[in-house]
């Protein structure tokens, strides 16, 4: 990892196009080994768009190498899909590393920051709807798989995932 050039900062609305590009280019490559083409062709266009409310939350971050965003992710108190959250439970949201930059410590640096930030904000546990691909990464970050889930993206389109939990206290 080229640690001297990496910076981590809160995402800004002006990052939206770069985030769309990061998600749109990286998800198809990263998820291909673990999902059939039928899932990728329907789900990737729906999950590869930056969410303005998430970017504006103050709890969504980007890792930059110079001007280029090479990683992104964050957490919210509100559960994915707009569901209300529960006191002390944070939800990991939209974490990705540029597919050309995996295994360089970018994801670990990002998740370390997310965990510390969530804990400092009073979260005692983090929940995550992990892709199948990211389960080993989240396990290495202290999360424990709770079981397979299907995330409804649109009527008739579900995305297979794994529900994971990390206790912070």
Q: What are 31-90's pLDDT values in tens digits?
A: 999 999 999 999 989 888 999 999 999 999 999 999 999 999 999 998 887 777 889 999
Eight-state DSSP code of residue 77 = S
Q: Which residues, 6 or more positions from 120, have their beta carbon under 8 angstroms from its beta carbon? A: none
What pLDDT band is residue 4 in, cutting at 50, 70 and 90?
Answer: low
By residue range, what is the domain housing residue 54?
6-167
Give residue 166's pLDDT.
Answer: 98
pLDDT at 97 over 80: yes
Q: Is 37 helix (H, G, I), strand (E, B) or coil?
A: helix
**Mean pLDDT for the chain overall:** 93
Domain count, the chain: 1
Q: Percent of the chain scored above 70 by pLDDT? A: 98
pLDDT for res 20: 96
Residue 1 lies in a domain: no
On whether residue 42 sits in a domain, the answer given is: yes
Interhelix angle 16-31/37-47, rounded to 10 degrees, is 170
- Does 151 reside within a domain? yes
The sign of the torsion formed by the CA atoms of 27, 32, 34, 40 equals positive
Q: What is the CATH number of the domain that holds 69?
A: 3.40.630.30
What is the per-residue pLDDT for 101? 95
Mean pLDDT within 5-26: 96
The answer to whether the beta carbons of residues 92 and 102 sit under 8 Å apart is no
- Here the tokens at position 98 are 């540029």
Stretch 112-122: mean pLDDT, rounded? 97
For the cut 80, the answer to whether the pLDDT of residue 141 exceeds it is yes
CA-to-CA distance for 129 and 21, rounded, in angstroms? 22
CA distance 116 to 43: 31
- Is residue 27 included in any domain, yes or no? yes
Q: What is the pLDDT of residue 1?
A: 39
Q: Kindly state whether residue 132 falls inside one of the protein's structural domains.
A: yes
CA angle 133, 136, 141 (to 5 degrees): 125
Domain annotation covers residue 32:
yes
């Amino acid at each position: 990892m080229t640690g001297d050039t990496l910076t981590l900062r809160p995402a800004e609305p002006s990052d939206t196009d770069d985030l769309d590009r990061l998600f749109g280019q990286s998800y198809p490559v990263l998820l291909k080994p673990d999902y059939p083409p039928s899932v990728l062709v329907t789900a990737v266009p729906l999950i590869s768009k930056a969410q303005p409310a998430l970017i504006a939350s103050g709890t969504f971050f980007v890792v930059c190498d110079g001007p280029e965003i090479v990683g992104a992710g964050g957490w919210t108190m509100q559960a994915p899909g707009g569901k209300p959250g529960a006191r002390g439970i944070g939800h990991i949201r939209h974490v990705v590393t540029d597919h050309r930059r995996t295994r360089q410590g970018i994801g670990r640096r990002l998740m370390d920051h997310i965990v510390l930030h969530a804990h400092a904000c009073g979260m005692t546990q983090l929940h995550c709807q992990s892709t199948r691909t990211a389960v080993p990464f989240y396990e290495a970050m202290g999360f424990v798989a709770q079981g397979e889930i299907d995330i409804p993206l649109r009527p008739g389109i579900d995305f297979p995932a794994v529900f994971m939990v990390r206790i912070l206290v």
